[in-house]
A and B are shown apart, each in its own frame.
Chain A
């Protein structure tokens, strides 16, 4: 039997890797990819708790998270396309108009 702690540690590691990626990457598409990684870390924790508790709610939450991730990817990539059309670049450091 695999202990619950193993899944949670993997989830934490996955989330940390995703968070580091969001901070480190300069390409906006890579940033979105790392965002998906963080969402999946949360999903893993949800499923682990759900399976080990014997309840179903965590897995239903994962389905909702997947729908949100799909919506996020759709809108995010539309923004990326609009950004690329206006600026001809995907570098997040180039789009700093809102930066104080």
Chain B
């Protein structure tokens, strides 16, 4: 067990516990905070793989901007925690364990066939390399993204604006 593997296990535990909390917590606000914890763990994993830029963007864009938007809306709408309700499809609960087992088996089959693990070089995700590729070879998708964001802004404004009488 190397030091990197210990780091991976620590951060993976953080990510998974955050993710499970998102599903288990009834208050969406606490769920959003748990998700931010999960994202911080993911960012550390990205850096561990040598993707420094993605790691930073994960914190700035996801934890900083997107989750801020979520928290803002949750507080704006003053969302209460969901109340407990009787499950309507109780028979579905019996399917959960077999399906989870099947899914784990499939993942295991898919992953165990992997060959030729090369260690990450540690230099793949530098800002320089990401930026150079984004601005030369992949310029068109990058610019199309800005069109998408513009569309989203217009759409969100239209949807959320108050109707005039």
Contacts and interface: CB of A to CB of B under 8 A. Distances in A.
A36 to B, nearest CB: 7
A51 B42 CA distance: 15
Contact of A74 (B69, B74, B141): B69
B124 A55 contact: yes
Contacts, number: 204
A77 B69 contact: yes
B152 to A, nearest CB: 3
Interface residues of B, number: 75
Interface residues of A, number: 67
A27 B62 CA distance: 21
A73 B69 CA distance: 8
A54 B32 contact: no
A16 to B, nearest CB: 6
Nearest to B32: A33
List the 5 closest pairs (A to B, CB-CB), nearest first. Answer: A71-B152, A78-B159, A78-B156, A51-B49, A78-B160
